[in-house]
Structure 1
Amino acid sequence: MSGAWWVLITVVVAVVLVASWYSFQLAKRLDRLHWRLLSTRDALDRLTVRRASEARLLVASGLLPPDGAASVDRAALDCLTGEEALFVMDDLDRRRDGLHDGVVDEHAVAERNERESALTRAVRETLTPDERDRVAEAPGGRELLDSLDMACYRVQLARSMHNLDVTQVLHLRENPWVRLLRLYGRAPAPSTIDFDDATTTVGA
C-alpha cells in the first residue's frame, strides 16, 4: 500500500473521529440542557408554592389594607389549592405521566399560569411603594416583606433561567448536524413558561 493511501486513510479516520467527538459533545450538551430545564421546572413549582405561602403570611399579619389583603389572600389560596398542573404544553416534563392520565391538559396549564399571574397582580397592586414603606415601618413588617420579596425574586429568576435555556435548546436544535443526526432523539421541542411574575412596580 502506497504512502498516499496511508495518508488518505489517516485523514478519513481523523475526520470520523472529529465528527464523532463533535456529535457526542452536541448530544451531551442537549441532554444536559433538557435535564436542566426539567430541574428548573421542578424548582419553579416549589418556588411558586413558597411565594404563595409567604404572601399568606403577610396577609395573616394584618398589616395590609383590608381590600388588598383579601385580594392577595384569595389569589395565594388559589395557587396553593388549585388543580395540580404543569406550566407548559410541550410534553417534555418527566412528571406528566402522573397527571391527567399521562396527557397534558391544555386548560389546566392555562389555569395554572393564570393563577400565578393573578397572585403577581394582587401583590403588585396591593404593595405599592407607599404601602411598602408603611408595612416596613410596622413591627415585623420588614421581615415579612423581605421574605415575600425574596420568594418573588426567586420565582422570577427561575422562570428567566428556564426560558433562557429553552432559547439555547431551540437554537441548538437548529444546528444542521443536530438535525441531520437527530441528536435530540424523541425529546419534543421545549416551550417557554409565560406568566406575569413582576410583583413590583417600576421604581418600587
Structure 2
Amino acid sequence: MTGAETAIVVIAVVAVLTWVGVVAATRLDRIHRKVVASRLALDAQLVRRAAVATELAGSGVLDPASSLLVAEAASAVTQDAEDARNELALALPDLDEESVRSVRAGLNGSVAESRVRAESELSEILRTAFGDPDEIRALAEDPDAAPLVHALGAAWYRAQLARRFHNMAVAHARQYRRHWSVRLLRLAGHAPMPVTVDLDDALPDGLDHGSVSVVGG
C-alpha cells in the first residue's frame, strides 16, 4: 500500500470515528437530559406528596396520634431539601461542573440513604394511618375528607409513576454508556453513572389509582 493510499485509509477511519463520535455524543447527551428531567419530575412529585400529607395531618381528618406522626414524617422529607439538592448533584450526570463541585465537598453515601429513609418512613406511616381499607372508603365518602384523600392518592400514584419512569431512564442510560462507541471514545468523561431511586412507595390497600378515580368522581 502506497503512502497516499495509507493516508486515504487513515482519513476515512478518522472520518468514520468522528461521525460515530458525534452521533453517539448527541444521543448520550439526549439520554442524560432525559435522566435529569425524570429525576426532577420525581423530586417534584415526592415533594407534592409530602405537602399533601402535611395538609392532611393538619386537617383533623386523622386521629391525633396519626396526625402527629404524619406531620413529623412529612416535615422530615420537606426539611431535607438541601440534602436532596446535594444528592441530586451526585446522582445526575448533567449538572454543570461548578454546581457539582460546590456541593460535593464533605458528602458521603449517607445523603442518598437519608432521603430514601425519609421518603420510605413517610410511606410506612401513611400506610399505618390508612391501615384499614374500610376507613379509606369512609373518608372517601366524607365531603370534608374526600378532596384530601383524592389529592394524596393522586400525588402518591404520580410519584410511583415518576420513579418508575426515572429508573427506566437510568437503566437506558447505563446500558448505552456500556456501548462500545461511548467506552472507546470516552464520551461520558468524568460524569458519574446515573443511579436508580429505590424506596418504599407502596400504596395503602384501598388507596390506589382506581380508588382515586372513585374519590374524584
Return the TM-score normalized by structure 1. 0.81
Tell me which residue corresponds to 1:28.
26
Deviation at 1:76, TM superposition (A): 0.8
- Asked if the contact 1:63/1:138 (under 8 Å) is kept, the reply is no
* Match of residue 116, structure 1, among 115, 119, 127: 119
Q: Which residues of structure 2 form unaligned runs of 5+?
A: 209-217
Give per-residue Cα distances to partners, 1:73-111, cap 9 Å, x unaligned: 221121122362135654637354453x64533223211
> Which one-letter code corresponds to 2:69 in the other structure?
S
Which amino acid is the alignment partner of residue 179 of structure 1?
A: R
User: Aligned pairs, how many?
Assistant: 196
Find the aligned partners of 1:76 and 1:192 in 2 and give their Cα distance.
Answer: 22
Q: How many Å apart are 1:149 and its aligned residue? A: 1.2
CA distance in 2, matches of 1:38, 1:97: 18
The 1-side partners of 2:58 and 2:129 are apart by 15
Q: Which moved more, 1:27-36 or 1:16-25?
A: 16-25
Are positions 1:84 and 2:65 aligned together? no
d(CA) in 1 for partners of 2:27, 2:134: 47
Instruction: Describe the SS at the equivalent of 1:84.
Output: helix
C-alpha distance after superposition, 1:38-90 (max 9, x if no partner): 22222322322211110111122211233322221221121122362135654
- 1:44 corresponds in structure 2 to 42
Greater mean alpha carbon deviation, residues 161-170 or residues 75-84: 75-84
**Residue type of the alignment partner of 1:171:** Q
Deviations along 1:139-176, one digit per CA (max 9) or x if unpaired, are 22221111111111221122111111111111111111
Structure 1 residue identity aligned to 2:161: L
Q: State the shift of 1:118 in Å.
A: 0.5
